[in-house]
């Protein structure tokens, strides 16, 4: 793994700014970045888990940028899944989140990485972030996308014709937030799309890749991450 460094940066959108966590390889002086990845949060904000994911991707040689999705409601939210109070706040933030505005923030994050020298930029996201990754595949100019247990994708399949970059959809078979009928609709609805691969992980529950989460599964997480790194290597460098 490459040695990494990290910073807090600001991204401009529509005459305003929001914060983002940027992790990158230490060896930036050796030339242009390998590629960039926008890391899209769960409902808990840019917390330690999301930062750990960004650090992992930086260790793989990418610039990894985790934007603060909830900045219009409350800036710099960082919650855990460890208490009922935090869960309730996270659900309230998710309910108040405007995904149509949010996709503009994700495009701004992609643009930030491109301006920093990343010729190719992808997205990765989890839960709410997994939903936003699917929308990013449909509505942004990102170069590759990896969605983990994204919620509500079955309701947005009508946008799939707009996907023009390699896209992975990772689904947990036991996910109560993506129940079996939704899983079937996603798998069937995207089966013929040549740029989309749907993987369903038997026996796994929502957030199987969340570090230290109650449903974390090392083997399933490693398998999903391996598939993700494979498409990023092909699409981003």
Greatest pairwise CA separation for the chain in angstroms? 50
CA gap 170, 198 in Å, rounded? 6
- Within 116-160, residue ranges assigned H as helices are 128-139
Please tell me which residue in 49, 170, 205, 206 is annotated as part of the active site. Answer: 206
Nearest-Å Rg of the Cα atoms of the chain is 16
Non-local (6+) Cβ contacts of 134 within 8 A are 145, 147, 150, 153, 156, 167, 169
DSSP lists the bridge partners of residue 198 as 169
For residue 191 the two structure tokens come to 């089966």
Please tell me which residue in 105, 175, 205, 217 is annotated as part of the active site. Answer: 175
Annotation says 26 is catalytic: no
CA gap 131, 105 in Å, rounded? 14
Annotation says 143 is catalytic: no
Chain centroid, CA 212 distance in Å = 18
Q: Mark 115-147 as b/e (b = at least 16 C-beta within 10 Å).
A: ebebebbbbbbbbbbbbbbbbbbbbbebbbbbb
Chain centroid, CA 116 distance in Å = 20
List active site positions: 175, 206
């Amino acid at each position: 793994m490459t040695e990494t460094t990290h910073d807090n940066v600001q991204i401009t959108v529509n005459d305003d700014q929001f914060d983002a966590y940027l992790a990158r390889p230490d060896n930036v002086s050796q030339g242009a970045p390998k590629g960039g990845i926008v890391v899209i949060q769960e409902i808990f904000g840019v917390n330690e888990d999301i930062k750990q994911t960004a650090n992992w991707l930086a260790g793989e040689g990418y610039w990894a940028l985790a934007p603060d999705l909830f900045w219009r409601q409350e800036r710099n939210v960082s919650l855990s899944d460890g208490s009922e109070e935090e869960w309730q706040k996270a659900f309230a933030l998710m309910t108040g989140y405007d995904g149509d505005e949010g996709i503009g923030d994700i495009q701004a994050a992609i643009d930030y990485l491109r301006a920093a020298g990343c010729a190719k930029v992808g997205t990765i996201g989890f839960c709410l972030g997994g939903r936003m990754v699917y929308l990013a595949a449909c509505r942004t100019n990102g170069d590759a996308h990896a969605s983990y247990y994204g919620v509500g994708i079955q309701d947005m399949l009508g946008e799939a014709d707009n996907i023009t970059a390699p896209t992975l959809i990772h689904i947990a078979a036991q996910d109560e937030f993506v129940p079996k009928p939704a899983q079937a609709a996603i798998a069937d609805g995207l089966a013929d799309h040549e740029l989309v691969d749907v993987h369903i992980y038997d026996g796994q529950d929502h957030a199987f890749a969340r570090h230290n989460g109650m449903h974390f599964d090392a083997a399933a997480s490693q398998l999903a991450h391996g598939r993700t790194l494979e498409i990023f290597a092909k699409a981003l460098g």
